[in-house]
Structure 1
Amino acid sequence: MKTLIGITPSKLIKLLYENKFRIGIKHLPKLLPLIFLSVRNSIYAVKEKKKYGSVLNNISIDKPPIFILGHWRSGTSYFKRLLSLDKQFAYPTVFQIYNPSTFLYTEPVLRARLEKIPKKKRPMDNMEVGFDDPGEEEFAVSVLSLRSQLLGWVFPANGTYYDRYLTFKDVTQKEIDEWKKATIYFLKKVLFINGKRQLLLKSPQNTGKIKVPLELFPDAKFIHIHRHPFDIFRSTYKLHKETVANFYLQSANNLDLTQSILNRYKIMYDAFFEDRKLLSEKQYIDIGFGQLQKNPVQTIANIYEQLELNGFDAYKPHLSAYLQGIKNYKKNTYQELDKNLQNRIYEAWQQSFAEWNYEV
């Protein structure tokens, strides 16, 4: 349900209609508060549009955004947290991605109250997250456009339908345009708050659809982060069991989670390996999570150099101070995968093993 807390009534009705109003009986109690939230969102959205609508029409996205790519649990959130310390970048916050239709109006009103709320640890990685921390723009775009793989986390019985939006290869032009329109609308609102800074964006869903944001921003820059496939699988499985399952409005009893993760990764990376050919050396760089962990300062310095980003010297002290502050952070530990599962992962994802020289 958390994925939908920023939705408005018209979008909610359309979404339920697309899913033939099939809500699991045990999930029905989630629907009433969702309806209430959608009505409240609609009221605030009207107020926001009245106050800011004409101003937003004059906002332009002049600097090419930077997109962080990578499968879930590849280290994209950690990496974005590091880059977000550079004050030349603007990024959507957690509050903004969950309130995409209303945050210009509601955030100033609620800020004092929000600042009193302690940060919570994410169950999948123990990372502390607060309302003002970097968020994934896809959460906002998903409820604004209804054209996102994220909605498959709410309607798992219809997951295959929403997986089309991992690549946008088997969708209509209308669906592509709806995603683009929602993206531009949301990013303009982010820039209204942040001025003319360069946008720093991160959503795993963009990994398989480079072509689509590239059509919006031909000069955009892309940073891809990869990690050992076994680690990705283990952590993604935990993500679904401990977090995504709480979003369901349908039963997932018939869902083969292991196969679903394997399929989704392959869909995403088949498209990624093809589409990254569209990018020049000054637009794209690939880094490993292990590399980032071992030598984060030098790794990021190399990124700035290759992508021709200015300001590293001013940013470096902030980066070093943050890294010093989290030096005692402990990652989750996982049991070894059984041999049969390792073989399944290798068979499905062998291109990634070969591309980045990961051992089986």
Structure 2
Amino acid sequence: MTRPIHPLTGADPATLFRVLMQNGSPRAKFLPALSGMVASALLRLPSTGLERAYVEVRAEARAQMPAPIFILGHWRSGTTHLFNLLSGAPGLTYAAPVPTGMPWDFLLLGRALRPLLHRAIPDERGIDAMTVTPNAPQEDEIALASMTRPSYYHGVYFPRRFREQMRRGLFFDGCTPAEVAGWQRALRLFTEKVSLNAGGRQVLIKNPAHTAKIRQLRAVWPDARFVHIVRNPYHVYQSTQRMFAALLDMVALQDWDPAEVEAVILESYPRMMDALVSDSCELASDRFIEVRFETLEADPLGTVAAIADRLGLADPEGLVSAAKRHLDSVSGYRKQTRSVPPEVAEIVEHHWGRQLEHWGYARPVANREGAGS
């Protein structure tokens, strides 16, 4: 697999230094990539400083930004598919590839280099066959991993400490209050910059890593709204295994242990789901909606309309029209059909039995791999 430009190339020197100090050096064959990250961080210092000053003088506009809408759900639950369907809504905006890859510099330097940067964007996501365009919606975790700690991506980049960094990035395990506050500041800054870049529009954010963080997100934006998509855990398990294997092959800078990755997948899903259920139970009905992937797949436009109605989104007809245009654009995509072996089903039932019972999912005969997860 051809490796893309490493995501940490967009980090600032302080974040890059702290991540390296915490996780150790890459393998020798990746030292040239590390040199590129360091050079990029240092060469961008003047533009980063200029952009910081530019953002500071826009404090009034940033303060008027509406609270974001968050799409939550475990990896491979259909979050990307739902993100794509909602991202064309009038009045909403989202992080595209350039802001995600250059979180410190996309308003000024990124705009100047946009034609060059667009040519560097890979044609596909790498974890599946979904195409990537210069305007494709992206999750904010790659940006956050280049701005602050913690982030689960630091475990993906430096998998010798995979379990520790996954727990820190997903659940703030072992994080100090100062680290959590720093993460919240970085998230707010990046989100406000995305909104500024779109003239102050409301930001739509999709990130599976936020699924267990409703409480911390609401501490930043008390009026935030949330859409949770849930999918049959049997399907989620196998697809998540393939996703992490592909992701680690693309961006890991150290050797990784498949057994540890498997253990983290099995332990993370129940914790994410338990935190989501606990933190969402107190939300008003117009602040939280849960949809099933199977319902979205069967009736995508009806599901989008229900989300717009429940959350009180502006111009629901425009949202449905945009969703239809997206569906037409991906009509040629074909999903793979996969079975769930009995031994795999038993693993899921043993580790994720409470979640199967909570959402009422039964063992499937065959698994149809979702188009956008």
TM range (shorter): over 0.9
Report the equivalent of 2:6.
2
Q: 225, 228, 240: which one pairs with 2:229?
A: 225
**CA positional deviation for 1:214:** 0.9
Report the equivalent of 1:66.
69
**CA positional deviation for 1:170:** 4.6
Question: Within 2, Cα distance between the matches of 1:187 and 1:321?
Answer: 26
Q: 64, 86, 91: which one pairs with 1:88?
A: 91
**CA positional deviation for 1:273:** 1.9
Q: 157, 161, 168: which one pairs with 1:158?
A: 161
- Aligned pairs for 1:87-166 (under 5 A) are 87-114=90-117, 120-162=123-165, 163-166=167-170
Q: 329, 352, 356: which one pairs with 1:325?
A: 329
Question: Within 2, Cα distance between the matches of 1:213 and 1:319?
Answer: 27
Residues 94-126 of structure 1 show CA distances to partners (whole Å, capped at 9, x for unaligned) of 110110011011222122344566761223331
Query: Match of 1:243, as an amino acid?
Result: L
Report the equivalent of 2:299.
295
Normalised to the residue count of structure 1, the TM-score between the two structures is 0.92
**CA positional deviation for 1:249:** 1.9
Q: Secondary structure at the match of 2:110?
A: helix
Change (3 A) 1:29 1:338: farther
Query: Match of 2:140, as an amino acid?
Result: E
The answer to whether structure 1 residue 304 and structure 2 residue 300 are counterparts is no
Residues 175-201 of structure 1 show CA distances to partners (whole Å, capped at 9, x for unaligned) of 111011111111121121112321111
Query: Match of 2:33, as an amino acid?
Result: K
Q: 164, 174, 192: which one pairs with 2:178?
A: 174
Q: 272, 276, 297: which one pairs with 1:272?
A: 276
Report the equivalent of 1:355.
358
Query: Which consecutive unaligned segments of at least 5 residues does structure 2 have?
Result: 364-373
Question: Within 2, Cα distance between the matches of 1:255 and 1:22?
Answer: 22
Check conservation: 1:126, 1:331, Cα contact below 8 A. Answer: no
Check conservation: 1:124, 1:235, Cα contact below 8 A. Answer: no
Question: Within 2, Cα distance between the matches of 1:80 and 1:313?
Answer: 17
Query: Match of 2:282, as an amino acid?
Result: L
Report the equivalent of 1:39.
42
**CA positional deviation for 1:127:** 1.0
Identity %: 28
**CA positional deviation for 1:278:** 2.7
Normalised to the residue count of structure 2, the TM-score between the two structures is 0.89
The answer to whether structure 1 residue 241 and structure 2 residue 245 are counterparts is yes
Residues 256-287 of structure 1 show CA distances to partners (whole Å, capped at 9, x for unaligned) of 33222111212222212221123121111111
**CA positional deviation for 1:4:** 1.2
**CA positional deviation for 1:237:** 1.3
The answer to whether structure 1 residue 341 and structure 2 residue 344 are counterparts is yes
**CA positional deviation for 1:312:** 0.6
Q: 183, 204, 210: which one pairs with 2:214?
A: 210
Report the equivalent of 1:54.
57
Change (3 A) 1:61 1:172: farther
Q: Secondary structure at the match of 2:88?
A: coil
Report the equivalent of 1:283.
287
Check conservation: 2:70, 2:226, Cα contact below 8 A. Answer: yes
Aligned CA-pair RMSD: 2.1
Q: Secondary structure at the match of 1:355?
A: helix
Report the equivalent of 1:251.
255
Check conservation: 1:282, 1:308, Cα contact below 8 A. Answer: yes
Answer with 316-325 or 199-208: which moved more: 316-325
Question: Within 1, Cα distance between the matches of 2:54 and 2:291?
Answer: 43
Check conservation: 2:98, 2:117, Cα contact below 8 A. Answer: no
Answer with 27-36 or 214-223: which moved more: 27-36
Change (3 A) 1:61 1:233: farther
Question: Within 2, Cα distance between the matches of 1:119 and 1:140?
Answer: 17
Question: Within 2, Cα distance between the matches of 1:178 and 1:116?
Answer: 33
